[in-house]
């Protein structure tokens, strides 16, 4: 009994010693937010201040506080914790965490990054989660005069709007990352990142030494409500640049998925990007003061049925991939208001492989405006350019300068009418399978040293007046009751069809290569149509068969008249088809009764055999 009481006493004493210790250990565990080298801290600021250089601050929970990171340390969020507040990163590394604004901050401030000193800053696998209701252009910024080396890699810039499918004037949205101008020593490398959500501008005012590579930009809205009033107003933009003189901006191998327009105030190197605007119609704009071409030729555009809108001037053209259609905003905008179409879709054009431009006007006004932009400083039809007429259009008054050689290409089933004055001081070539009509009111003036050439494949109808003091070349199929006058040279050309050479065969005629004009019913042996020949001379007679042993040695056809030679043994029969076949190997005895002879021989042999056998028995 005493032993039991003693054991119970020891148990109570042990419990009394342990419980105070357990209570003391649990209290700090509820308050700590970070640890450094095994030591825990109640605030992130305390942990950062205590952290030695090159150490790691590990978050143990979510944090709501404003923190300045200004030493070479790593802050690791263990891929699950969030810092809510204004984070200022002047040095060091943030990784595996989320940054959000404090809900009490009316401007949605969450990130300032950069340093006037030459430090190293890294954001790796960080999610920057913006507010869509509390916002300003300073919600996330880089510092002005940055001299730090900033690397932002594998980060996500996101928001979570509730716009209920609204994409135009969307109520919930954010500003992105605003980049202030950098010092020459500073640089920003923005790689493998993602922007995704409803944004007015994703990367705004990009400045200094800045690389954007292998990133994805996805925007859920075309425009925002209650946004800025300047620039593109509420229309979303992806990348805009500053006008800083030290800009060295490279944008390569990114996906811009309906992300917004692009506005450049300085030269930038865009290459290998995919610009996808199949949901929203956005523009690319270059400030005219850049004074040199902006090269977008090595990028891919995916537009669906949308237009690619280009806002540029002749001094700073935006060069697009050959064959990529676009519409020009400034030419439309500078069209007189009383005749200006409702939108810019009529002002289509595209670059060619040789750098020239093919203009594709979709209205009479657009056609004429493509020739009238010299005083406006916009691109216009220039030397070696082409005007493609894809639908029925009408010219009223156009002048072709002496330094221009222009091609009008009229598509099949399309018509170009000259209803006013076409003054040609340079050169015009008209081609295509469409029709060119000079109306009764139309007048074509060809000045000295100027030329108008209408290709034979184009249908020309002249009901008006052509004053030719230069060179005029028209098809011999030209129709109409109009007149041609002047001191120039007028030549009518054949509308000839090229016929390729065809080799004759044994039994089929062939022909030489020649050209045939159906209008004048003439044949020519040369492309220039200078060597006329007769129809008979175009033909090459069939070669005829060359038979040997019953077959043609050229084509292998059987000779219908071939009779094979008979062998000598075939003549032994008397010609009677019912005669029995003679055995050429039998002895020639002169006796044709072979069966009788054989029977007689067999009977003789049998008698002799049995006679001998009987004789043996008698003497046996």
Tens of pLDDT, residue by residue over 33-88, are: 999 999 999 999 999 999 999 999 999 999 999 999 999 999 999 999 999 999 99
Same domain, 468 and 511: no
Residue numbers of the domain that contains 500: 495-559
Same domain, 464 and 474: yes
Tens-digit pLDDT profile for residues 395-442:
999 999 999 999 999 999 999 999 999 999 999 999 999 999 999 999
Q: What angle do CA 56, 58, 63 make, to 5 degrees?
A: 130
Query: 396-410 burial string, b = 16+ CB within 10 Å, else e?
Result: bebebeeebebbbbb
Q: In this structure, is residue 26 part of a structural domain?
A: no
Same domain, 489 and 393: yes
Domain boundary among 527, 559, 591: 559
Q: In this structure, is residue 604 part of a structural domain?
A: no
Same domain, 394 and 481: yes
Determine if residue 197 is left, alpha or beta; phi over 0 gives left, psi from -120 to 50 gives alpha, anything else beta.
left
- The pLDDT of residue 587 is 45
- In the chain, the number of structural domains is 2
Same domain, 393 and 485: yes
- The pLDDT of residue 598 is 54
Same domain, 402 and 481: yes
- The pLDDT of residue 599 is 55
Same domain, 392 and 408: yes
Q: In this structure, is residue 403 part of a structural domain?
A: yes
Contact 126, 97 (CB under 8 A): yes
Cα(395)–Cα(417) distance, integer angstroms: 6
Q: In this structure, is residue 422 part of a structural domain?
A: yes
Same domain, 519 and 481: no
Helix (H, G, I), strand (E, B) or coil at 122: strand
Contact 234, 260 (CB under 8 A): no
Same domain, 466 and 553: no
- Nearest residue to 351 (alpha-carbon basis) of 290, 295, 395: 295
**Cα–chain center distance at 429:** 31
Contact 524, 530 (CB under 8 A): yes
Contact 157, 202 (CB under 8 A): yes
Q: In this structure, is residue 536 part of a structural domain?
A: yes
Domain boundary among 473, 493, 513: 493
Q: In this structure, is residue 81 part of a structural domain?
A: no
- The pLDDT of residue 590 is 46
Q: In this structure, is residue 284 part of a structural domain?
A: no
**Cα–chain center distance at 174:** 31
Pairing of strands 309-311, 496-499: unpaired
The residue to which tokens 């990784």 are assigned: 95
Low-confidence residues of the chain, pLDDT below 50?
1-28, 570-593, 608, 612-620
Domain boundary among 539, 559, 579: 559
Same domain, 419 and 469: yes
């Amino acid at each position: 009994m005493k032993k039991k009481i003693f054991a119970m006493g020891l148990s109570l004493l042990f419990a009394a010693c342990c419980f105070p210790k357990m209570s003391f250990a649990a209290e700090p565990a509820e308050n700590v937010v970070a640890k450094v080298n095994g030591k825990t801290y109640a605030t992130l600021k305390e942990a950062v201040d205590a952290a030695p250089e090159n150490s790691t601050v590990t978050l143990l929970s979510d944090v709501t506080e404003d923190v300045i990171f200004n030493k070479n340390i790593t802050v690791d969020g263990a891929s699950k914790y969030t810092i809510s507040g204004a984070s200022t990163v002047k040095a060091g590394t943030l990784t595996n965490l989320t940054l959000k604004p404090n809900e009490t901050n009316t401007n949605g401030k969450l990130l300032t990054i950069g340093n006037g000193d030459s430090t190293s800053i890294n954001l790796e696998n960080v999610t920057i989660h913006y507010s869509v209701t509390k916002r300003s252009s300073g919600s996330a910024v880089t510092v002005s005069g940055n001299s730090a080396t900033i690397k932002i890699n594998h980060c996500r810039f996101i928001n979570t709007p509730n716009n209920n499918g609204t994409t135009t004037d969307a109520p919930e949205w954010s500003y992105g990352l605003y980049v202030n101008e950098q010092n020459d020593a500073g640089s920003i490398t923005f790689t493998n990142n993602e922007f995704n959500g409803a944004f007015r501008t994703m990367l705004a005012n990009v400045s200094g030494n800045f690389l954007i590579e292998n990133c994805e930009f996805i925007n859920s809205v075309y425009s925002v409500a209650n946004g800025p009033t300047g620039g593109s107003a509420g229309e979303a933009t992806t990348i805009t640049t500053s006008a800083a003189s030290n800009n060295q901006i490279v944008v390569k191998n990114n996906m811009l998925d309906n992300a917004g327009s692009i506005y450049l105030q300085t030269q930038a190197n865009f290459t290998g990007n995919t610009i996808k605007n199949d949901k929203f119609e956005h523009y690319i704009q270059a400030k005219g003061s850049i004074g040199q071409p902006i090269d977008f030729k090595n990028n891919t555009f995916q537009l669906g049925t949308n237009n690619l809108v280009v806002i540029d001037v002749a001094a700073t053209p935006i060069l697009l991939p050959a064959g990529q259609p676009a519409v020009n905003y400034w030419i439309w905008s500078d069209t007189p208001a009383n005749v200006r179409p409702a939108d810019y879709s009529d002002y289509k054009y595209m670059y060619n492989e040789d750098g020239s431009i093919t203009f594709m006007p979709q209205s009479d006004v657009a056609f004429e405006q493509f020739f009238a932009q010299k005083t406006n400083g916009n691109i216009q039809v220039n030397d070696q350019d082409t005007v493609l007429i894809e639908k029925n259009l009408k010219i009223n008054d156009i002048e072709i300068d002496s330094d221009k050689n222009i091609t009008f290409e009229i598509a099949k089933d399309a018509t170009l009418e000259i209803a006013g004055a076409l003054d040609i001081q340079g050169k015009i070539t008209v081609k295509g399978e469409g029709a060119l009509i000079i109306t009764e009111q139309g007048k074509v003036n060809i000045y000295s040293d100027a030329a108008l050439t209408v290709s034979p494949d184009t249908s020309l109808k002249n009901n008006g007046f052509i004053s030719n003091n230069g060179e005029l070349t028209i098809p011999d199929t030209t129709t109409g009751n109009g007149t041609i006058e002047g001191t120039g040279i007028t030549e009518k050309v054949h509308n000839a069809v090229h016929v390729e050479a065809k080799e004759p065969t044994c039994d089929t005629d062939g022909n030489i290569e020649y050209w045939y004009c159906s209008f004048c019913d003439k044949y020519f042996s040369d492309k220039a149509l200078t060597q006329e020949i007769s129809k008979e001379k175009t033909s090459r007679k069939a070669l005829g068969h060359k038979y040997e042993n019953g077959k043609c040695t050229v084509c292998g056809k059987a000779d219908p008249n071939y009779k094979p030679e008979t062998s000598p043994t075939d003549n032994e029969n008397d010609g009677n088809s019912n005669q029995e076949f003679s055995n050429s190997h039998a002895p020639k005895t002169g006796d044709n009764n072979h069966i009788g002879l054989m029977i007689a021989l067999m009977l003789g042999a049998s008698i002799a055999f049995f006679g001998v056998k009987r004789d043996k028995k008698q003497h046996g």
